[in-house]
Amino acid sequence: QVQLVESGGGLVQPGESLRLSCAASGQVVAIHTMAWYRQAPGKQRELVARIGHDESSYYPDSMKGRFTISRDNAKNTVYLQMNNLKPEDTAVYSCFMNVKTSSSGFWDSEWGQGTQVTVSS
């Protein structure tokens, strides 16, 4: 089994920065795509950013400019640097990984439990 554990969320004021981390542990053989999603109250979950094993990244147009995704393959960890945060960035942020495990030998989709980010003055 694989567990994704997120950290770094919290309460910040508008204009401040946060860095989220998500580490995979367990029977991890390889990780392909890593991504961050967010879901605000009353809204659908949306993609913030994703990054491939080759570290090629993708951001939806609405997320370009203030968010930066990165990964450390040796640590099975994905990061999300968020700058100049705005109240509309308030949401639960969840990490996603496409993981190959030693138990199944297949690629599985794994999700973190989510971490709350609140931007408020």
3-state secondary structure of 78: strand
Quick: pLDDT tens for 37-83.
999 999 999 999 999 999 999 999 999 999 999 999 999 999 999 99
Pairing status of strand 18-26 against strand 2-7: antiparallel
CA separation for the pair 106, 79 (Å, rounded): 24
Residues 30, 99 contacting (CB under 8 angstroms): yes
pLDDT at 30: 94
Q: How confident is the model at residue 121 (pLDDT cuts 50, 70, 90)?
A: very high
Q: Average pLDDT, stretch 17-40?
A: 96
Quick: pLDDT tens for 80-117.
999 999 999 999 999 999 999 887 788 999 999 999 99
pLDDT at 24: 97
- The residue type found at 34 is M
